[in-house]
A = this chain, B = another copy of it.
Amino acid sequence: MNDTSPPLEEDLVHDAEDRLRPDFVKEVLDDVREGRLEEACSLVAELHPADRADLVELAPEADRADLIAALGSLLDADVYAEMNEHVRELVVEEMEPEQAAELTGDMETDDAVALLEDLDDDDQRAILDVMEPDDRAAIEEALSYPEESAGRIMQRDLIAVPEHWNVGQVIDYMRSDEELADDFWEVFVVGPLHHPVGTTKLSTLLRTKREVPIADIMQEEQTLIPVDMDQEEVALKFQKYALISAAVVDPSGRLVGMITVDDIVHIIQEEAGEDALLLSGAGEGDINEPVREAYSGRIRWLIANLGTALLATFVIAQFEDTIARLAILAALMPIVAALGGNAGTQALAVTVRALATNQLTGTNRARAIRREFFVALLNGVTIAIILGIGVAIFLDPMIGVVIGAAILFNILVAGLAGVLVPVILDRFGADPAVASSVFVTTVTDTMGFLAFLGLASAVLL
């Protein structure tokens, strides 16, 4: 151990943001392409499993099979547990069922479930059929819980001890059994029916004398996760109560598993990040998603958008005569729609975020709506003045008045739609991020064109 060496030596593998450097990836791929397999393996052997997974993801599809064959056992269960699900699905589909079964058998249950649940039923069945009976039973049980529920993401390996033990007994038990899991941060204390009655952090256990009863140091207040709880709610609980791990219980209250925070950070990131994708109508929106899936995810929203755009067209068409007589209106009207759309999207993004993080509830709903109204009023007045005066000076005073009034009205409508649409969807149990955009844009487009062209027809002609 050379304690005087610089601690942060230059990293030839990672760039400043901890991503694999393109020239490193190229070096490995060139080695594989040109048959220098030992060189490739020795480069990869130094990498963390997460980086090995990144390497497979970053390799062009045409090179992946050769890369995987070349790396062999360097791509173990830990690597597959870290891999992007779309890439992993492609790779696993190419494997023999026996090979895939051995891989999943080496994984923790939650990782094995994550791998298998993405496969077709036939592929899944073929792999399960050749697994060890123990592994198969654990995975089949996990797969019996709903998708994205606590039962799918929990681990079954945990430390549970009876409440009459003392600290010394707990420590001796942990030292005695080689089979016990190594990744745990809390010990669960259970009653005779295997119901959790308390929990003890390892730090507390370590800092307590051996003869103290575990019941004296355990924390009785604990967050219990029902096995069918949605993973998004599990993630919110972990955040809200700053949990490191939590007990999962079945409907009768028995301890059946444990969820640890390292399994949750991915979910927190996914759930928080998917709002941007959902609001844009980009579906799952992963860059490793195959083109045909990306297409089918996005085209439906484009078609929905086409439908609502036709509504706007219908509104404009009612004013064909007005436009024929004063064609400059056609050039100005997109401004009213665009600004309304943007203001609506702002209010929408804020509201969807507040709903997703449980900050907007029945208690402060009215206040949030009032707040958006005032923000919209300030924005609307500002834009109306700038645009109205500009148009009045450079074009025509009356058109300036008309467009100012129309845009103020449309920004107010946009602010209210941006908060009301997601709140209403949420109350009816729909995901406010999914469909809100289409509703809000429809409202701001049609109202914008209607207000501007309607006012213009009444005042200018």
Contact = CB atoms under 8 A, between A and B. Distances in A.
Given A327-B320, A343-B302, A204 B182 contact: yes
B334 A316 contact: yes
Interface in A367-384: 367-368, 371, 374-375, 378-379, 382-383
Contacts of A182: 201, 203-204, 207
B3 A364 contact: no
Interface stretch (A35-43, A130-138, A145-153, A305-313): A305-313
Contact of A312 (B320, B338, B433): B338
6 contacts: A1-B220, A60-B367, A182-B207, A291-B374, A306-B339, A338-B445
Contacts of A272: 268-270, 272-273
Interface residues of A, number: 155
Contacts of A15: 361
Interface stretch (A69-77, A116-124, A279-287): A279-287
B298 A346 contact: yes
A349 B312 contact: no
Given A20-B361, A317-B328, 4 more contacts: A19-B358, A58-B364, A276-B353, A334-B449
B233 A207 contact: no
Tell me the number of copies of this protein: 2
Contacts of A50: 240-242
Task: Decide if the interface of chain A is mainly helix, strand, loop or mixed.
Answer: helix
A223 B269 CA distance: 20
Interface string A190-220: 0111011100011111111100000100001
Interface stretch (A88-96, A98-106, A259-267): A259-267
Contact of A1 (B163, B275, B328): B163
A210 to B, nearest CB: 10
